[in-house]
Structure 1
Amino acid sequence: MTGYYTPPGGLPPQTALMTGRAVFTDAYCVIPKGCFSDIVTSNLPGWKNTRLWLIARPMSGFSETFSQYVMEVGPGGGADLPEPDPVAEGVIFVTGGEIWLSLDGKEHELGAGGYAYIPPGCDWRLHNGSDHPARFHWIRKLYEYAPGLTAPAAFVTSDQEVKPIAMPDTEGRWATTRFADPDDLRHDMHVNIVTFQPGGVIPFEETHVMEHGLYVLEGKAVYKLNQDWVEVEAGDFMWLRAYCPQACYAAGPGPFRYLLYKDVNRHAKLRGPGAFGR
């Protein structure tokens, strides 16, 4: 691992060509790293010395289950009440700098590669006590309770602590770092890291109900999205709605790695005559 890409911000020079790789369709969206400029950052209530790129949000008819922020917290910045929604769960994945994180009174320090799961209703705080910016992804989802299941407990781990698991019949060229137990039905979302070694592929068009957010942490590849092959590299973000066909060919000289969100382990919500009259 050579590190995790973080947006540098700034603005392109006036002499730069406008043409880029950004695309938004009814099946997928690609936000290339060149779009992460200062002009599209946002601020959040309750957060001090913090800006973010909001790269995914629920949209009717598109991906509907999650939001994803690329956060940049300056020295002394952070929040004592970061999450305004008591039903929201979250995942933090640190790509640069260090953060101090308190989860229900337990204190943690996370550096690059650090991972935290934050359940709904958790009392948490996050601050940057260093003299340089801290950067991390914050993925949010409304937790979907299910009969007989309680929400998972908060936990902290890291990319360095969790061993990737090779996908069957891939000779180790395609592996997944699973931070939550895939058989633990309390989890209604998974946020993992997928790694392809050079030449590794998804050898079929995955077509499934799970929505995806894919932020490229390292390397480059060609990714098939619906009917299109798209070149992607570290710093690019892909956003896929349910059933969008996808495949991958890792074409770079080094590993291709991305942070992957998907919704899991719940019934499909039904709609139709009588659905609201019971």
Structure 2
Amino acid sequence: MSTYYAPEGGLPPGSRLTTDRAVFNEAYVVIPRGSMSDIVTSRLPFWDDTRLWVLARPLSGFAETFSQYLMEVGPQGGSDRPESNPDAEAVLFLLEGSLRLTVDGAEHPLEPGGYAFLPPGCVWTARNPGSEPAKFHWLRKAYERVEGIDVPEAFVVNERDVEPLGMPGTDNTWCTTRFVDPDDVRHDMHVNIVSFEPGGAITFPETHVMEHGIYVLEGKAVYLLNEDWVEVQAGDFLWLRAFCPQACYAGGPGKFRYLIYKDMHRQMKLVNPVS
């Protein structure tokens, strides 16, 4: 059975050492789960009884294509006006609790593992109908329209209903749950789940143009980020700029799984030279 780590908030005791695993450099960011305390939460307009941790936002010279929030919505809280940007597409992924999502008038109850893709311009609302907080990821990207290519439609699914696919030559120790056809160029971002069995590994340093946001859902591993091997665990967030080398070794004792964002299927933006 899959598990999904969600932060509890609070504050660390004053007796705890300040030294931790948090890193911000020119190639990557590590936000350990202990950094997600009460004093770094944010609020949003038109969201009732809601706080959030901003895990990623566009930064000039770093990762520039997306933002990622970890939302905590109290009982009966939520929003009837969640998105103010008509160009924003989104993915929601529920970690804990329940969420009543409406998309263009159709209601979709979400439970843990629930996944929703929301295209730009769709009308949606999100409410917590339960008695406990609902915690979910909200990933946002400005959709890049292409003449002659349709905008993809909204859809809602649960992870348990999507078959993970083993990576070639790995004997299913490394699998990816893809919520979108990787050949569908209507989509300019993918948000997938990557899973490793104990002993599973990415055995070469992937170096590619896609930016990444990686939230560890379950387990622990060592992850190569640029030149550094970093220990990570459930609840940690990694943010990688384009071309940052990455690899992974999941030593166990249980599964290692993460939710991963990457930008896809669009021409590289070019800057006119100064004359």
TM-score over 0.5 (shorter chain)? yes
Q: Secondary structure of 1:63's partner? A: coil
Matches within 5 A, 1:101-112: 101-112=101-112
Return the alpha-carbon distance in structure 2 between the equivalents of residues 40 and 274 of structure 1. 41
Equivalent residue for 1:145? Answer: 145
Q: Secondary structure of 1:7's partner? A: coil
Deviation, structure 1 residue 2: 4.0
Q: Secondary structure of 1:198's partner? A: coil
Deviation readout 1:235-264 (Å, 9 max, x if unpaired): 000000000000000012011000000000
Equivalent residue for 1:187? Answer: 187
Equivalent residue for 2:225? Answer: 225
Q: Secondary structure of 1:39's partner? A: helix
Matches within 5 A, 1:75-94: 75-94=75-94
Asked if 1:243 corresponds to 2:254, the answer is: no
TM-score (structure 2 length as normaliser): 0.99
Return the alpha-carbon distance in structure 2 between the equivalents of residues 91 and 58 of structure 1. 17
Which amino acid counterpart does residue 180 of structure 1 have in structure 2? V
Matches within 5 A, 1:129-140: 129-140=129-140
Which amino acid counterpart does residue 204 of structure 1 have in structure 2? F
Equivalent residue for 2:168? Answer: 168
- How many residues are paired up? 275
Deviation, structure 1 residue 147: 2.1
Equivalent residue for 2:71? Answer: 71
TM-score (structure 1 length as normaliser): 0.98
Which amino acid counterpart does residue 102 of structure 1 have in structure 2? T
Return the alpha-carbon distance in structure 2 between the equivalents of residues 172 and 99 of structure 1. 32
Equivalent residue for 2:43? Answer: 43
**Structure 1, 134-143 or 9-18: larger mean CA deviation:** 9-18
Which amino acid counterpart does residue 134 of structure 2 have in structure 1? A
Q: Secondary structure of 1:64's partner? A: coil
Task: List gaps (5 residues or longer) in structure 1.
Answer: none
Q: Secondary structure of 1:170's partner? A: coil
Return the alpha-carbon distance in structure 1 between the equivalents of residues 34 and 218 of structure 2. 15
After superposition, the CA RMSD in angstroms is 1.0
Deviation readout 1:49-103 (Å, 9 max, x if unpaired): 0000001000000000000000000011000010010000000000000000000
Which amino acid counterpart does residue 187 of structure 1 have in structure 2? H
Q: Secondary structure of 2:175's partner? A: strand
Which amino acid counterpart does residue 63 of structure 1 have in structure 2? A
Equivalent residue for 2:5? Answer: 5
Deviation, structure 1 residue 155: 0.1
Deviation, structure 1 residue 274: 7.0
Equivalent residue for 2:122? Answer: 122
Deviation, structure 1 residue 153: 0.4
Return the alpha-carbon distance in structure 2 between the equivalents of residues 107 and 224 of structure 1. 41
Deviation, structure 1 residue 272: 2.8
Equivalent residue for 1:208? Answer: 208
Which amino acid counterpart does residue 84 of structure 2 have in structure 1? P
Return the alpha-carbon distance in structure 2 between the equivalents of residues 197 and 127 of structure 1. 35
Deviation readout 1:205-249 (Å, 9 max, x if unpaired): 000000000000000000000000000000000000000000000
